[in-house]
Amino acid sequence: MGDHCGNIYQLRPVSIIRALPQIKDHRLFQLKLEDGTTWESFGHQPGQFIEVSIFGKGEAPISISSPPTRSDTLEICVRRTGRVTDALFEMGKGSTFHIRGPYGRGFPVDLLKGKKLLLIAGGLGLAPLRSLLLYSLDKRKDFDDIILMYGTNNPDNVLFKYELLSFFDRDDINYLYSVDRDDEGIWKQYVGVVTGLFDRTDLSPAETYAVMCGPPVMYRFVLQKLLKLGFAKEHIFMSLERMMKCGVGKCGHCAFGDKYCCIEGPVFPYPEIENIKEAI
Amino acid sequence: MEKRLIKKDALAGIAKKMADDFLVWAPVKKEDNVLFAPLGRNDEPFFSYLNSKNAPKNVFFPHTETMMKYTRTEKGMTFSAEVNKAEQSVLFGVRPCDAHSFVLLDKLFDQEKYKDGYYIAKRKNTTVISLACATPPYTSCFCTSVDGEPVSSDGADILLTDIGGDYLVEFVTPKGEALAKYFGETKADAQAESKKAEIAAKAKEAVKSKIPAHEVKPILDVNFDNPFWNTIHGKCLACGTCTYLCPTCHCFDISDEVKGSDGVRIRSWDSCMFPLFTKETSGHNPRPSQKERWRQRTMHKFKYYVDMFNAISCVGCGRCVMYCPVNIDIRKIVQDISKL
């Protein structure tokens, strides 16, 4: 046993620079460290998460939405859905709370360099994927083609709307999006589940790495599609959601098979979880 | 290392003498139960017990533990982590199966990369004194099936074995040896040692309940979807008794408690038997029914822990067998799995 074990549950104070409304019950919080250190030294990787810690309310695992290439702030996109996020939504500019992290294994950015990227996001699954998306756009020369497929349940629920719209002006990213339903008939793009987007673009599966994050039901169908198109299993990465309480592989809530999602994930290469039935 | 002999009736006195100098956890009678509890000035330790109702894991991993304290002040929140703090303690008279559980818990809490300062500090500052089972206490004991023995120093710093009129005192680690002064001056002779070996062999023989714990790992590897999993959980009440009494169960929840402007963040035992254990905020639950929860508990003990740490996460104490209100028996489950 080490004589000087640090504290793996160490909290760091942050303040809110801006709280930007997204869609109903979703907000993007831009954070600043209040302990005199920088986000650079925080050292997060795309795909990692933090525990948001609010005294009196508790803690909640939230994925990091901003890339390490933009170290002036750390962004988290939060859905208001429980005690901790309720409290967070009551806070405004300048309010302080605590975080701990960064935790977990993020996207394999070094492996992805030089490769074609296919990012597939469903709903709030865009929040963690955005860290990789912006990272690859900030280091655009390091990557080959970038394709983003993003599906939401209806046109009102598109996150990061203006940011995404700006992608239509760029010729270095191919952006496709879908909505499951369009009751009002206002959607000019594809209507249907996100897998329908696969038929609307040319992919070169042999050279492409697919990265996905979305609601549980999405994984099965997207996986089927990818494998059918001839994607190698090793080229498929998925960010999984679990109830991650401690973030450091102890409390047991996020465990499936012999994996702790919080330390060995949340991003897994498909072959690592292929044979763990409970994973997806 | 050194071995000594003490008179049998001297044991309680030694524990009480230690309690003058340290925090001593010892078995004490509380109503109908024997529990490990801090030995107070007027408490009498109860060493002729079979086994304690609670597993002594609460010494290192308390049922409810303060992780940090905080206060709301005019200038904002101030807080202090309660980590890496522990009083010098002695855990006096645990059964070898329970001492074995500490070795298993160390693997998780004292991992190379993620060291849990709350657990480690208490573990480091506590000397474990095991009290061997000269006679296996219950018919439901099955320690010999899960890498344990009724007379074993595994996980202990000092081992006490009843060899008739005396206890043989074996100092197993330097930490144990540091307490040698409490155990008199009588050196153990060769006769005492051979008597102990004889008792150990007999005790091992006397553990009649056996399960094929090592055989089921390869079977569990390929039977996640076996219909067998439909057969266990039907009568389970999801009460969590098995996990709370289990010496190796280590899952916990983290929550806050506030009173006025003061608050604490606590961690408290949680249980994979509870429906909410895995439920995500979105409403999605990866283990939606008691069937999946029982599969998880069984797999975790006999497959996943083996995959992760090369050790079965069960010490054969039999508490879950004895106290399950609906008589779900892990021994039968393992037996049944071995026949799949």
* Boundary of a domain, candidates B153, B178, B206: B206
Residue B144 lies in a domain: yes
* pLDDT confidence of residue A6: 67
Does B198 lie in the same domain as B230? Answer: no
A215 contacts in B (CB within 8 Å)? Answer: 282, 284
B58: in domain: no
Task: Residue B117: give the domain boundaries.
Answer: 3-53+66-206
- Distance, in Å, from the CA atom of A142 to the CA atom of A111, rounded to the nearest integer, reads 11
Within a domain: residue B142? yes
A162 touches chain B (CB under 8 A): no
Tell me which residue of A217, A222, A210, A226 sits closest to A269, measured CA to CA. A210
Which letter does DSSP use for residue A131 in this model? H
Q: Is residue A215 assigned to a domain?
A: yes
Two tokens at A220? 């099965």
pLDDT reported for residue A251? 95
B321 contacts: CB under 8 Å, gap ≥ 6: B140, B329, B330, B331
Say yes or no: A136 and A198 in one domain: yes
Question: Is A123 found in the same domain as A99?
Answer: no
Q: B8-38 pLDDT, tens per residue? A: 999 999 999 999 999 999 999 988 899 999 9
Distance from C-alpha of B247 to C-alpha of B269, rounded to nearest angstrom:
12
Cβ-Cβ pairs closer than 8 A, A with B, add up to 126
Taking residue B1's Cβ as centre, other Cβ atoms within 10 Å add up to 11
- What letter represents residue A238's amino acid? M
Contacts with B282 from chain A: Cβ below 8 Å? 81, 215, 241
Q: Give yes or no for A6 touching B (CB within 8 A).
A: yes
Inter-chain touch B256–A56, beta carbons under 8 Å? yes
Residue at a domain's end among B206, B235, B259: B206
How does residue B80 score in pLDDT terms, banded at 50, 70 and 90?
confident
A33 touches A14 (CB < 8 A): yes
Contact B109 A250 (CB under 8 A): yes
Mean pLDDT on B260-284: 92
The confidence score (pLDDT) of residue B132 equals 96
Whether residues B224 and B323 fall in one domain: yes
User: What gap in Å lies between CA B227 and CA A138, rounded to an integer?
Assistant: 51
Give the nearest partner residue to A263 out of B114, B115, B279, using CB atoms: B114
The pTM score is 0.92
Reported as a single tens digit per residue, the pLDDT across B197-243 is: 999 999 999 999 999 999 999 999 999 999 999 999 999 999 999 99
Burial class (CB in 10 A: 0-12, 13-18, 19+), A124: buried
Q: Which residue range(s) make up the domain with A18? A: 12-103
Cis preceding linkage at B288, omega within 30: no
The CATH number of whichever domain residue A168 belongs to comes to 3.40.50.80
In a domain, A7, yes or no: no
Based on the fold, state whether residues A99 and A125 are members of the same structural domain: no
Same domain, A24 and A76: yes
Contact across the interface for A1 and B255, Cβ inside 8 Å: no
Co-location of B154 and B246 in the same domain: no
pLDDT given for residue B31 in this prediction: 87
Q: Are residues B224 and B202 in the same domain?
A: no
Same domain, B96 and B198: yes
**ipTM higher than threshold 0.85:** yes
> Of B206, B225, B241, which one is at a domain's C-terminal end?
B206
Considering its fold, how many domains does chain A have in total?
2
Angle at B222 (CA atoms; ends B279, B213), nearest 5 degrees: 90
Please indicate, yes or no, whether residues A43 and A164 belong to a single structural domain of this protein.
no
Clarify whether residues B7 and B153 are in a common domain.
yes
Asked whether residue A75 falls in the same domain as residue A128, the answer is: no
pLDDT at B84: 78
Contact between chains at B225 and A246 (C-beta distance less than 8 A): no
B141-177 pLDDT tens trace? 999 999 999 999 999 999 999 999 899 999 999 999 9
Q: Two tokens at A97?
A: 């709370």
Percent of chain B with pLDDT over 70: 100
pLDDT of residue A1: 36
CA distance B160 to B34: 19
Return the sign of the alpha-carbon dihedral for residues A161, A165, A166, A167.
Answer: positive
Contact A59 B263 (CB under 8 A): no
Residues in chain A predicted with pLDDT less than 50, given as ranges, are 1-5
Say if residue B2's pLDDT is above 50: yes
Domain co-membership, A151 together with A217: yes
